[in-house]
Each structure stands twice: as C-alpha cells, then as structure tokens.
A and B are shown apart, each in its own frame.
Chain A
Amino acid sequence: MKILIIEDEQEIALSIKNYFKDNGVQCETAKNYKQALNKIDNYDYDCILLDLMLPDGDGFDILKELKRKNKTEGVIIISAKENLETRIEGFNLGADDYLTKPFHLAELLVRMQALIRRKNFKGNNNVVFNEIKIDIFSKSVTVHDQKLDLTKKELDLLLFLIGNEDKVLSKGTIAEHLSGDMADMLDNHDFIYAHIKNLKKKIHQAGGSDYIKTVYGLGYKWENE
C-alpha cells in the first residue's frame, strides 16, 4: 500500500510515515504544492493525505488537478480549518474524508484503511485477522466461522483495534474514535473499559484468541501472539 502525504509541517508528515510503516503502509511526502503536483503526475497512490494550507498553493487546487487528470486516488483532507464551508467545499471537489488537526495517528490510519477498502471494493469487503473475519458490508463478524453478536460500538472498536495492529492505543484515542462527532465533548474515557471487556468476552466465548492486551497506565493493544 502506497500513499502520498502532502503536508508542509515536516514533523507531522514524518510522524505519520513512521506510524504507518509498521502497518504495511509505504509513505511518500511532499512538502509543497509544486512537489505534490510533480509526484501526482509521476506516480499512482492508493491514497493521498492532503493538508489544505500549503506554502505555495491551496490544497483545493490539488483536488481540482486530480479531477482534471482523472486520477482516482482517495483523498483525506487533514486540516486545521474546522468549519462546515471548508468541509463541504472539500467534499465537492472530490475529497473522501476530512480530518481536523490535531488528530490521532490511529484514527488517520483506520480512516485511510476504510477508504482504501471502499475504493478497492471488488464484490466483497472483508477484513480478516487469523480466525476473525469481518464483513464490513453486512456488518457481521465470525470467529472460526461462528457468528459473533456484536453491538455497533463493539464492531467499530474491533475494526479500530485490528486496523492499528501492534500499536498501543491510549484510552483517549479509542474513546474519541468511538464517540465520533461527540468526541469534543468527552472528558471521561472510562466508558471504553466496558466495551473492551465485552468484546474480549465475546471473542473468547467463540473460541478466539485473546489479542487485546492491556498496556498499564496507557491503554490497549491488539497483538498477534
């Protein structure tokens, strides 16, 4: 999987690159408009992460350029701009998702995975992890072909954990992911404990392995034994 990060803040680009590396995502970076156009012209990517404010141009122009060249890359806008107009304009110009800075790397990763899954959709849309099989389309989960009865939140949590395989996720990161639009309101992350416990129990009851590890003081980690 190869993506392009168009971001003038080099440290952010680097953090993303490092974080994604272990999860099978190869990142290239472009720190300005010109470089970005150059790379888009010469290579194909699975996904593009786009910062709107670039030193020598507007991120929206890159979207227009992609459209003009009939490029089919999925685009996630990562921007500090947080208002409805910018969001709507971004989507109208062909962006697939919009993430406001600051964001969690884990969140960005699963959003990107979901986008690529949608783009590469060929009849089925499955996430498979050893004995666990998730059909995104029908929202059903099986362990050893045995159907699990998960709540919407638990399914969301499972996808988030698997997507961030081998990554330590803080409680806050998970809580904010599960809360979606309401994340800004949260001041207590304890509620995720119950979801983790239930998910663990359900997988265990279906004979699955215990992949969810507790990292004391920090959060949780999905780990392949």
Chain B
Amino acid sequence: MNKKKLLHKTTQSFLIYAVIILLVSAPAFYFVSQWLYVYETEEVLLMHKGEFLKESRKNFTEADIKLWNKYNRDVVIVPDMGVTKDSIVGKMMFDETAQEMEPFYLIYAPVDINGKRYTYTEKINLLEMEGMVYSVAFMFLFIIIILLIGIIWLSKRTSVKLWQPFYNTLHQIHDFEIDKNKTPQFPETNIDEFDRLNKSLLLLTEKNREIYKNQREFVENAAHELQTPLALFQTKIDTLSQLGLNEEQSNLVGSLSTDVSRLNRLNKNLLLLSKIDNEIYFEKNDIVINDYINKHLDFFTEQAVSKKLSIITEFTLELQIKGNPALTEVLINNLFLNAIRHNEKNGKVIIRTLENELQFLNTGGKTLLNIDKLFNRFSKSNPSSQGNGLGLAIIKKIAELNQWEVQYNFENNLHIFSVRF
C-alpha cells in the first residue's frame, strides 16, 4: 500500500480547507458586496430625492421644471404617475450613451411643487457598480490565495522543522540492530512529546539489548559449561571401549560414541555462533576461494564417496575476497557439507565461481525448500538427517557479519546456494 508521508498529510488538510474556503467565499463575497451596493444605491436615490425636496421645491415654477428636465438626464420630474409613496425598482433599460440594454435602479417618489403633485424619478446605472464588484472580488480572491499559499508554505516549513526530531528518532530506530553493540543516539529535543518518545524508546532498546545479551551469554556459558561433562563423557567412553566388550555391548558403546561426538559438534557450533555474535573474529585477509576449495577437495570427496556423488568444479575465474580466513573456511565447509549431506545417491555437487559470487549446486529433494525457515537455527528440512540444523544458521551469520548476501534457489532440479561477496 502506498503510505502517505506525515508532512504531506498536514499540508494536504490545509490545502483542502483552503480550496473549500475559496469555493464558498467567492460567490458569498460576490453576493454580499452586490447586496451592499444595491443597498447603497437605494440610499443614494432616497438621499437625492430628500435633497431635491429640501432645496428645490420652494421656488420651482412650471418653467423651472421644464428646464430641469431639459438639463438632467437621470433626474426627471414628471406629472403625477399616481405614486403615493417612495418606490424603488430595478429594471433593464436602453442606455443612449452605451447604445444597449443595461441594468438600472429607479426611484419613483411623489413630490408637491407649488401645490401641484408631480412624480420624482431618478435612475442610476448599476453597470459601474458591477465592474467595481468584480474588481473587488478579484482583489479579495487574490489576497486570499496569497494568504493561503503563504500559510501552507509556512506550515510546511515549520512542520518539517517541528517533526525533525521525530524523523531523527525514526532513522535511529530503523538502523538499530539488537545484536550489534551500538545504542541508538537520540539527539536532545525541546519538545516534551518527542523527548518522552526518545526516552521510552531508549528504555525499550536498552531492555531488549539486555535481554538479548543475557540470552547470548546464556548460550555461550551453557556451551562452555557443557565442555567439561562432555570431556568426561568422551574419556569414559574411550575407557569403556577397552573393557573387552561383547558384541551387544560394543554396539551400545559404538552408538554412544557417535552420540557424544554429535553432542560435541553441536556444542562447538553453538560456541562458534556465539563467538560470531560477539564479533570475536575481526582480522580480515585476502582469500582466494578457488585455492581453498581445491585444497580441501579431497576431504569432501571422501565424504561424498558413500553417496557416490560426483563433485564438479566450474572455476570460470579466480575468486578473491576479503574476509576472516577462519570464518570464510567455516562458511565454505558448511556450504560444501550441506550440498553433500542433503544429496541423493549418485547425485552431483557443482561448485561454481562467478564474478564476486560463489555457488554450490546440488541434486537432492525435488522441491523448493522453505526459504523463510531455511536459515533459522535448528530448522531441519529433514528431521532424520545427521546435521544439527546449525550449518545454514552459521552460514547466514558469517555472511551477515561480512555484509555478504546468501541466497537459495531451486532451478532445474538443483538446489542452489550462492554467496555474493
């Protein structure tokens, strides 16, 4: 799923709010200002009429009215039209100057001049107002847009600043690895919530690291402590073997002997794993993988004899890597033995060197192995096999330590384990 970023989220709500405000306020503003203008126009019409009444009527004669009407285009005194009180109407009229129909506001008011009833009419062209409303609305919109852009920009900027400690924390937690001796470093922040978040996270990671460390030490100590009883066990079996046993007893002691060496191997592997965990191995040298494999090919061929496996080396190029020799050897040995152990009778093992990559291909089971569990400790695809389920876990650990990449594939009935250096 495509997740949104926190900062986008806050600015997004600002944007939505701004758009809604704009959409609602623009027509509202238009109507309000129009109403205001109409109201003002009516006031003006009424005021003009009032002024006319106050100033002009006393000394107006019939001839004066004619003259008035002659020189006034908008204010005209006409004979009584039958209006009894002031009325204001808006209508479309033909404007001589513009030569087209335009909206006007008109007032009809009764006036008495020299005892005779007339009707006072005045018209005002609303078109001027319309233009003004438009420009005011435009200005208004312009200001609002500027304002909103400013607010969004500012909020984005402050959000980035405000959330910076949060992103720092996120980054630290992302890089945190429980099995590494590196505590996350949370920089000081002056925001209470972030401070609390950091403190809680620090506490949490510390606690987990402590638990992990204890567990690791437990494995290491357990493995160490097992060595002495194992040594006793071993020497006693060696002694027992010398006691002139009958065949039944010999069989028992023989299988005991196998068991104890299995235990021993398991213990050594556990020790090795905890050593890698503790990063005891550091020194790195140049290693030529081809040379190492060639040197130990005899040993592995011997191991493969009982299954009549053919071991094929495809060294297309010399693979030289940088790594700890002891660990690299363990890695290769484990891969090699793995390919032999999980093979079938008359099967084959192919060892291939590629550009920065070592591959072990082997015949065996006809199905893809469960990749998720494959590299876990004590995960065994075949419970009856002689392996102790630590081989691949060790391979993975060593690869992790060196930032190499281990991959498993199943192609053309071949299980492929590859290490990219």
Interface residues of A (CB under 8 A from B): 9, 11-12, 15-16, 18-19, 22, 80, 82-84, 101-106, 167-173, 176, 179, 182, 184-191, 194, 215-219
Q: Which residues of B251-289 are within 8 A (CB) of A?
A: 251-255, 257-258, 260-262, 264-265, 268-269, 271, 275, 280
Known A168-B241, A191-B306; judge A102-B233 contact (CB<8 A).
Answer: yes
B257 adjacent to A218 (CB under 8 Å)? yes
Interface stretch (choices B90-98, B100-108, B123-131, B224-232):
B224-232
Smallest beta-carbon distance A26→chain B, Å: 18
Besides A15-B239, A167-B242, A216-B250, 8 new A-B residue pairs in contact (Cβ under 8 A), listed by A number: A11-B236, A18-B239, A19-B238, A80-B227, A80-B228, A82-B268, A83-B275, A187-B341
B296 adjacent to A9 (CB under 8 Å)? no
Q: Which residue of A lies closest to B387 (CB)?
A: A187
Neighbouring A residues of B334 by C-beta, 8 Å: 185
Neighbouring B residues of A170 by C-beta, 8 Å: 237-238, 241, 253-254, 257-258
Complex Cα–Cα for A173 and B261 (A): 9
B250 adjacent to A103 (CB under 8 Å)? no
Interface stretch (choices B175-183, B297-305, B376-384):
B297-305
Q: A101: which of B228, B252, B253, B254 is its contact (CB, 8 Å)?
A: B228
Q: List 12 A-B contacts (CB under 8 A).
A: A84-B326, A104-B238, A167-B241, A167-B242, A168-B242, A173-B238, A182-B296, A185-B337, A186-B261, A194-B302, A218-B251, A219-B254
A106 adjacent to B238 (CB under 8 Å)? yes
B247 is an interface residue with CB less than 8 A from chain A: yes
A101 adjacent to B227 (CB under 8 Å)? yes
Complex Cα–Cα for A108 and B82 (A): 139
Complex Cα–Cα for A18 and B241 (A): 13
A15 adjacent to B235 (CB under 8 Å)? yes
B302 adjacent to A185 (CB under 8 Å)? no
Neighbouring B residues of A12 by C-beta, 8 Å: 231-232, 235
Known A173-B257, A182-B333; judge A19-B242 contact (CB<8 A).
Answer: yes
Neighbouring B residues of A179 by C-beta, 8 Å: 299
B265 adjacent to A184 (CB under 8 Å)? yes
B247 adjacent to A216 (CB under 8 Å)? yes
Chain A to chain B: the 7 pairs with minimum beta-carbon distance, closest first: A217-B251, A102-B231, A15-B235, A187-B386, A101-B231, A102-B234, A217-B250
Smallest beta-carbon distance A222→chain B, Å: 13
Neighbouring B residues of A188 by C-beta, 8 Å: 303, 306, 386
Contact-residue size bin, chain B (C-beta under 8 Å from the other chain) = 35 or more
Q: A82: which of B247, B258, B271 is its contact (CB, 8 Å)?
A: B271
Neighbouring B residues of A102 by C-beta, 8 Å: 227, 230-235, 260, 264
Smallest beta-carbon distance B389→chain A, Å: 12
Neighbouring B residues of A176 by C-beta, 8 Å: 261
Known A11-B232, A182-B333; judge A191-B280 contact (CB<8 A).
Answer: no
B224 adjacent to A80 (CB under 8 Å)? yes
Q: Which residue of B lies closest to A216 (CB)?
A: B247
Complex Cα–Cα for A128 and B162 (A): 87
Smallest beta-carbon distance A112→chain B, Å: 15
Complex Cα–Cα for A219 and B386 (A): 19
A104 adjacent to B234 (CB under 8 Å)? yes
B139 is an interface residue with CB less than 8 A from chain A: no
B245 is an interface residue with CB less than 8 A from chain A: yes
Complex Cα–Cα for A104 and B247 (A): 22
Q: Which residue of B lies closest to A215 (CB)?
A: B250
Complex Cα–Cα for A186 and B387 (A): 9
Neighbouring B residues of A106 by C-beta, 8 Å: 238
Neighbouring A residues of B337 by C-beta, 8 Å: 185, 187
Q: A191: which of B247, B264, B268, B305 is its contact (CB, 8 Å)?
A: B305
B333 adjacent to A172 (CB under 8 Å)? no
Complex Cα–Cα for A40 and B349 (A): 54
Q: Which residue of A lies closest to B271 (CB)?
A: A82
Q: Mark B1-25, 1 if CB is under 8 A from A, else 0.
A: 0000000000000000000000000
Neighbouring B residues of A80 by C-beta, 8 Å: 224, 227-228, 231
Complex Cα–Cα for A161 and B128 (A): 122
Q: B250: which of A167, A184, A194, A218 is its contact (CB, 8 Å)?
A: A218
Known A15-B239, A83-B275, A190-B306; judge A218-B232 contact (CB<8 A).
Answer: no
Complex Cα–Cα for A225 and B230 (A): 35
Complex Cα–Cα for A194 and B231 (A): 29
Neighbouring B residues of A9 by C-beta, 8 Å: 228, 231-232
Complex Cα–Cα for A168 and B253 (A): 11
Smallest beta-carbon distance B36→chain A, Å: 92
Neighbouring A residues of B260 by C-beta, 8 Å: 102
Known A82-B268, A194-B305, A216-B250; judge A103-B231 contact (CB<8 A).
Answer: yes
A184 adjacent to B231 (CB under 8 Å)? no
Complex Cα–Cα for A173 and B241 (A): 11
Neighbouring B residues of A194 by C-beta, 8 Å: 302, 305
Complex Cα–Cα for A101 and B252 (A): 23
Known A82-B268, A218-B254, A218-B257; judge A105-B224 contact (CB<8 A).
Answer: no
Neighbouring B residues of A103 by C-beta, 8 Å: 231, 234
Smallest beta-carbon distance A135→chain B, Å: 24
Smallest beta-carbon distance B79→chain A, Å: 126
Neighbouring A residues of B258 by C-beta, 8 Å: 170, 172, 189
Q: Which residue of A lies closest to B306 (CB)?
A: A190
Interface centre among B224, B242, B262, B271 (most CB of A within 10 A): B242
